[in-house]
Amino acid sequence: MKTKLNVTALQIPLFWENAGKNRVYIDRHFDRLNPTADIVLLPELFSTGFTMNSHLVSESMNGITIQWMQSWAAQWDVLLGGSLVIEEEGKFFNRFVMVGPKGPVALYDKRHTFTLAGEDKAYSAGTNSGLFEYKGWKICLRICYDLRFPVWNRNTTNYDLLIFVANWPAPRINAWDTLLQARAIENMCFVAGVNRIGSDEKGLEYPGHTAIYDPLGKLVSGTVSSEEEALTAELDCLELQAHRKQLRFLEDRDNFDLC
């Protein structure tokens, strides 16, 4: 197992429904990527912005954006992740894909579609767990609105790192800050939350607040800035295990079945 995992989160603006322009823009960051990175994270729907026109902008798992992700993952020998619009068998998904040098290694389809914006009408809700292992770390993938549902995020599988990618708007940013920290504390895990910046075609403003928390809820790396940034944190699994051994909170968690 790799005891220390280096995670880089890109807090960036997005261009509306323009995958090519977004890829070119992100290329600039990849050209100067931290060489120690193991995982690089992009925001939710990084190729299009939070559009409900899923039928107009969708790609396949063999599409150009996945191929672009694989190319960069191979060049830097990293795991590259973010969500994008994927079509499968006539259904559209807000899909979080983690891509390695040889292709996708994990995916998660957003379970809690954001009804306030009509996401439930434009996208199918996912049913998969979003759990996978990488370099000995157990990792759980989630997307934006999922953050509000602690039962769905409950650490019943002893995952080490919980990742959220988001387009979380300014009026509710306090909830983003608070819930990210809460998910770290209650699940005794590292939590990384990547939010976009800038504005979209709907007039919504996104203030960033990308952050990475340790298992006790301490901020490891983060910003309250709405500026473009690449945040990097070194996560230590031995530190995580020490906290869990000393503070056995997860052993006292409630048992439940999720319908």
Is residue 40 helix, strand or coil?
strand
Q: What is the pLDDT of residue 151?
A: 96
pTM listed for this prediction = 0.97
Give me the helix-helix angle, 64-76 and 19-30, nearest 10°.
Answer: 0
- Residue 171: inside a domain, yes or no? yes
Question: 50-97: per-residue pLDDT in tens?
Answer: 999 999 999 999 999 999 999 999 999 999 999 999 999 999 999 999
Q: What is the pLDDT of residue 222?
A: 83
- Residue 258: inside a domain, yes or no? no
Q: What is the pLDDT of residue 230?
A: 94
In degrees rounded to 5, what are phi and psi of residue 84? Answer: -150, 170
Judge contact between 97 and 72, C-beta under 8 A.
no
Question: 12-46: per-residue pLDDT in tens?
Answer: 999 999 999 999 999 999 988 888 999 999 999 99
- Residue 12: inside a domain, yes or no? yes
Enumerate residues 6+ apart whose C-beta is below 8 A from 250: 155, 158, 187, 188, 244
Q: Where are the beta strands (DSSP E) in 110-189?
A: 131-134, 137-143, 161-166
Secondary-structure breakdown of the chain: helix, strand, coil percentages, each rounded to the nearest 5: 30, 30, 40
Q: Which residues are catalytic?
A: 44, 110, 144
Look at residue 177 and tell me whether its pLDDT is greater than 90.
yes
Q: How far apart are CA 160 and CA 215, in angstroms?
A: 9
Look at residue 1 and tell me whether its pLDDT is greater than 90.
no
Judge contact between 184 and 215, C-beta under 8 A.
yes
- Residue 111: inside a domain, yes or no? yes
Enumerate residues 6+ apart whose C-beta is below 8 A from 114: 120, 144, 145
- Residue 159: inside a domain, yes or no? yes
Question: 194-216: per-residue pLDDT in tens?
Answer: 999 999 999 999 999 999 999 99
- Residue 247: inside a domain, yes or no? yes
CATH number of domain containing 67: 3.60.110.10
The pLDDT mean for the chain works out to 96
- Residue 257: inside a domain, yes or no? no
Give the type of residue at 169. P
Q: What is the pLDDT of residue 180?
A: 98
- Residue 259: inside a domain, yes or no? no
Indicate the number of domains in the chain: 1
Residue with tokens 């608070």: 178
Please give the residue range of the domain that contains residue 204.
4-252
